């Protein structure tokens, strides 16, 4: 991985979105659209006694570190206490509503996708760029700085999380759906907590946040959510093929783990992982395209690994 894939320090704010030498304000058309989106979302919740205190534009596109992967982070500031006295309950309510909205909609402005988040008005927001769309002014104006980044730590933590995600994916291939669903859910929470700790301690350029950005930009987090959701669907589906389900149950029964290092066993497990990794990478590299098969390529690509050549093939 390259740190430039996730960290770019531009000389100016995005000129399509901001006007003025230092980004004195948001493009009026963009501002109007974002306010309308936020208001429509909130009106659809039909909440009594609560309103929007402010609508803010934050994230990398409100800063100098935006990239082609950036989202428009649209935050609605709401006093949670006016919704209900149970803070955790309200937070979970808004989290579910925003997650559903962000999944259902794909609104883009100059190619950047809009993502909604509802924030408690009394909550601290850890960002160096926050612009109030309702008041038309900066709450926290960003400045262009060359951050010090621990690249080795970003690389190490990124590879660690990718390995954990891949191992959950391996278990999905082995049809261990109950185990997969639980582990994927725990890993999602772990990554979120990991990122939040970095934002609170060292801000946007912390190795925790940059690790998260890499995982998000290259679809590792999306894959993890897909694994969690698909394992839940498989776990709760009833197709009437009870014989097959019984075989899966037997196959996934607890296996006795031998202590110590047994080379033959480890080689076999390693070879299986290599095979699954090959199939996984093939899905990632050529299986995500939305283009349907046509006359030139009438069939979808095969994701199975090709058979190895026999010994001596090629004159070796």
Task: Give residue-wise pLDDT tens across range 81-114.
Answer: 999 999 999 999 998 899 889 888 999 999 999 9
| CB-CB contact of 128 with 49 (8 Å) | no
Supply 229's token pair.
């959701």
Domain boundaries of the chain, sorted by first residue: 7-140, 151-251
- Specify the pLDDT at position 28: 94
Distance CA 77, CA 53 (A): 5
Identify the weakest region by mean pLDDT among 79-83, 219-223, 252-256, 262-266: 252-256
**7-140, CATH topology level:** Beta Polymerase; domain 2 (3.30.460)
In the numeric block, the tokens 């596109």 are attached to 61
157 by DSSP, 3-state: which? helix
- Specify the pLDDT at position 280: 59
Within 10 angstroms of residue 211's Cβ, the number of other Cβ atoms is 25
Task: Give residue-wise pLDDT tens across range 114-145.
Answer: 999 999 998 877 677 899 999 999 999 998 87
Which neighbouring-strand residues pair with 29?
A: none
- Specify the pLDDT at position 100: 87
Contacts (Cβ under 8 Å, ≥6 apart) of 213: 6, 7, 69
pTM of the model: 0.60
């Amino acid at each position: 991985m390259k740190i430039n894939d996730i960290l770019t320090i531009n000389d100016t704010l995005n000129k399509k979105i901001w006007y003025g030498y230092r980004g004195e304000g948001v493009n009026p058309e963009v501002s109007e659209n974002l306010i309308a989106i936020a208001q429509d979302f909130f009106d659809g919740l039909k909440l009594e006694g609560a309103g929007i205190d402010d609508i803010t534009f934050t994230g990398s596109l409100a800063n100098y570190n935006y990239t082609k992967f950036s989202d428009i982070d649209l935050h609605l500031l709401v006093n949670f206490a006016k919704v209900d006295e149970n803070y955790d309950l309200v937070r979970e309510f808004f989290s579910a509503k925003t997650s559903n909205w962000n999944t259902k909609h794909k609104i883009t402005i100059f190619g950047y996708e809009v993502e909604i988040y509802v924030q408690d008005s009394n909550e601290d927001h850890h960002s160096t760029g926050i612009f109030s769309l309702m008041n038309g002014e900066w709450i926290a104006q960003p400045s262009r700085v060359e951050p010090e980044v621990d690249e080795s730590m970003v690389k190490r933590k990124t590879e660690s999380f990718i390995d954990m995600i891949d191992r959950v994916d391996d278990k999905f291939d082995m049809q261990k759906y109950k185990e997969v669903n639980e582990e994927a859910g725990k890993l999602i929470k772990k990554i979120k907590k990991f990122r939040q700790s970095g934002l609170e301690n060292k801000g946007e350029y912390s190795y925790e946040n940059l690790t998260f950005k890499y995982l998000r930009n290259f679809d590792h987090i999306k894959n993890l959510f897909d694994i969690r959701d698909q394992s839940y669907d498989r776990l709760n589906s009833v197709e009437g093929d009870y014989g097959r389900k019984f075989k899966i149950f037997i196959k996934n029964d607890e296996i006795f783990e031998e202590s110590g290092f047994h080379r033959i066993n480890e080689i076999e497990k390693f070879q299986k992982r290599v095979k699954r990794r090959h199939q996984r990478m093939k899905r990632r590299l050529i299986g995500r395209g939305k283009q349907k098969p046509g006359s030139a390529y009438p069939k979808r690509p095969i994701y199975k690994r090709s058979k190895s050549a026999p010994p001596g093939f090629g004159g070796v």
